[in-house]
Amino acid sequence: MTVTRAITTAPRGERGRLHPPRRPMTARRFARKYLVGIIAILVSIVVFLVPFIFVVLQAAKDPKEAGLMGFSLPTTWQVGQNFFEVIQTNNYQLLAAFINSFILTIASVAIMVVFSAMCGYLLHRRRTRLNPLVNFLVLAGLIVPPAVVPTIWVLQGIGMFDTLPGMILIEATLGLSFSILLFRAFVATIPRELDEAAIIDGAGPMRLFFQVILPLLRPVVVTVVVVQAVAVFNDFTGPLYFLPSSANPTVQLTLYNFQSQAVSQYNLLFMNILLITIPPLIMYIFFNRQIVAGMTSGAVKG
């Protein structure tokens, strides 16, 4: 009752402040509120979902129908037959390629996380005359394309060409620049008082970083792990140049098993594409929120 009396006895200006009038939904307001989101969803469906549906349909067809490359349902579904035929090709080469790709991804991403976190922490915490030079080199790593021939020459000189350890070092090096930028932006959100308190308690440099700083970098660590793991797992040109033999195949290079100048088995090719797409897709589905949190927190607060 008291609230009603206050509203009725209040002046006209105060009544408007307590209960502001609702503006009608105009076409411009509707466009700003809903139309942009609807267009973004439709574009995303066309760009991402339609190609994925096409791959699934082609992977379920027989060789003759898949060769037509039509966007239609298969007359006879051969999902199981195509799946087992892809797995058994070249003496189960796809299984060995999955093992090599997982080893390559895990090892290179682990190196990226440790070294880029250290470098990003030092670049933000310790300001020296070399910082502009290091920042220039980090940005150059994002802009300058990798030199294939000199890299092959270096790997041959140290005896690591066409080996999995050499490919691990290459993938880790190519992803360092992007990871360093993310870690450096996120370190800016951590107060320096934590460093000073840990040093007063007797923590050394390694203990300070691994026991105090690194646990606080968990959001950006998850972001770097997921983004770089998908990039390494889906890399095609790197293994093509630096793993030319069939001794250490990766999943992307197995696509050559079903595509040649004489024969093209499109149903098996698309089944292979579908199988090597599943692991990155699962990572993005489960870690989507962590990726966004790691990106935005470093960008906004840093």
pLDDT at 136 over 70: yes
The angle subtended at Cα 226 by Cα 98 and Cα 256, nearest 5°, is: 30
Dist. CA 82–CA 53, nearest whole Å: 17
Q: H or E stretch including 227?
A: helix 218-233
Q: Convert the pLDDT of each residue in 46-73 to its tens digit.
A: 888 888 899 999 999 988 888 888 888 8
- The whole-angstrom distance between residue 144's C-alpha and the CA centroid of its chain comes to 20
Q: Convert the pLDDT of each residue in 66-106 to its tens digit.
A: 888 888 888 888 889 999 999 998 889 999 999 999 999 99
Dist. CA 169–CA 221, nearest whole Å: 19
pLDDT, position 2: 45
The domain spans of the chain are: 22-84, 91-301
- pTM for the complete prediction? 0.79
Q: 219 near 297, Cβ under 8 Å?
A: yes
Taking residues 279-301, report their average pLDDT. Answer: 69
**Exposed / middle / buried, residue 113 (Cβ in 10 Å: 0-12, 13-18, 19+):** buried
Q: What are the helix (H) ranges across 74-191?
A: 79-88, 93-125, 131-143, 148-157, 164-174, 176-187
The Cα-based distances of 83 to 25, 67, 106, 272 in angstroms read 53, 17, 26, 8
pLDDT, position 115: 94
Q: Domain 91-301 carries which CATH code?
A: 1.10.3720.10
pLDDT at 261 over 70: no
**Tokens at 113, concatenated:** 């996380």
**At a CB cut-off of 8 Å and minimum separation 6, what does 164 contact?**
100, 103, 104, 243, 248
Q: Residue 118: left (phi > 0), alpha (psi -120 to 50), or beta? A: alpha
**Tokens at 120, concatenated:** 């990003």
| Residue corresponding to tokens 């307001």 | 29
